Amino acid sequence: MQVINPATGERAETVEEHDASDVQDALERSTAAYEEWRERPIREREELLAAAGDVLRENEREYAETMTREMGKPISQALAEIEKCAWVCDHYAQHGSAYLEADSHPSPPGSDVETVYDPLGPILAVMPWNFPFWQVFRFAAPHLTSGNVGLLKHASNVPGCAQAIEDVFREAGYPEDVFQSLLIPSDLVDDIIEDERVKAATVTGSGPAGRAVASTAGDQLKKSVLELGGSDPFVVLDDADIEDAAETGAWARNQNGGQSCIAGKRFLVHTDVYDEFLERFVAEVESLTVGDPMDVDTDVGPQAREDLMETLHEQVEASVEAGARVLTGGEPMDRDGAFYPPTVLADVPEGCPADSEETFGPVAAVYEIDDADGLLAKANDTELGLGASVWTTDRARGQRLAREIDAGCVYINQLVKSDPRVPFGGVKESGYGRELAREGMLEFVNRKTVWTE
For residues 318 and 434, membership in a common domain is answered with no
Residue 440 lies in a domain: yes
The secondary structure of 156-186 as a DSSP string is TT-HHHHHHHHHHHHHTTPPTTSEEE----G
For residues 260 and 279, membership in a common domain is answered with yes
Q: Which domain holds residue 100?
A: 2-228+430-452
Residue 360 lies in a domain: yes
Q: What is the pLDDT of residues 18-42, one digit of tens each?
A: 999 999 999 999 999 999 999 999 9
Residue 306 lies in a domain: yes
C-alpha span between 216 and 236 (Å, rounded): 41
C-alpha span between 299 and 165 (Å, rounded): 25
Q: What are the DSSP E strand ranges found in 294-444? A: 325-328, 343-346, 363-369, 384-385, 387-391, 409-412, 427-428, 431-432
pLDDT at 428: 97
Q: What is the pLDDT of residues 333-342, one digit of tens each?
A: 999 999 999 9
pLDDT at 416: 98
Residue 244 lies in a domain: yes
For residues 153 and 223, membership in a common domain is answered with yes
pLDDT at 12: 85
For residues 24 and 113, membership in a common domain is answered with yes
pLDDT at 65: 98
Rg of the chain over all Cα atoms, to the nearest angstrom? 23
Residue 424 lies in a domain: no
Residue 425 lies in a domain: no
Concerning whether 89 is annotated as a catalytic residue, the answer is no
**CATH code, 189:** 3.40.605.10
Average pLDDT by stretches of 10, the chain with 453 residues: 94 92 98 98 98 98 98 98 98 98 97 98 98 98 98 97 98 98 97 98 95 97 97 98 98 98 98 98 98 98 98 98 98 97 98 98 98 97 98 98 98 98 98 98 98 97
Contact (CB, 8 A) for 253 and 342 = yes
For residues 203 and 259, membership in a common domain is answered with no
For residues 200 and 306, membership in a common domain is answered with no
pLDDT at 388: 98
For residues 140 and 238, membership in a common domain is answered with no
Q: 3-state DSSP call for residue 123?
A: strand
C-alpha span between 150 and 139 (Å, rounded): 9
Instruction: Find the farthest-apart pair of alpha carbons in the chain and give their distance in angstroms, rounded.
Output: 77
Residue 418 lies in a domain: no
pLDDT at 13: 87
C-alpha span between 300 and 259 (Å, rounded): 10
For residues 152 and 166, membership in a common domain is answered with yes
Residue 420 lies in a domain: no
List the catalytic residue out of 85, 89, 161, 261. 261
Concerning whether 227 is annotated as a catalytic residue, the answer is yes
For residues 36 and 168, membership in a common domain is answered with yes
For residues 249 and 181, membership in a common domain is answered with no
List the catalytic residue out of 227, 284, 358, 435. 227
Give the number of domains in the chain.
Answer: 2
Reference 294, options 8, 2, 4, 3; nearest CA is 8
**CATH code, 304:** 3.40.309.10
For residues 15 and 157, membership in a common domain is answered with yes
For residues 193 and 44, membership in a common domain is answered with yes
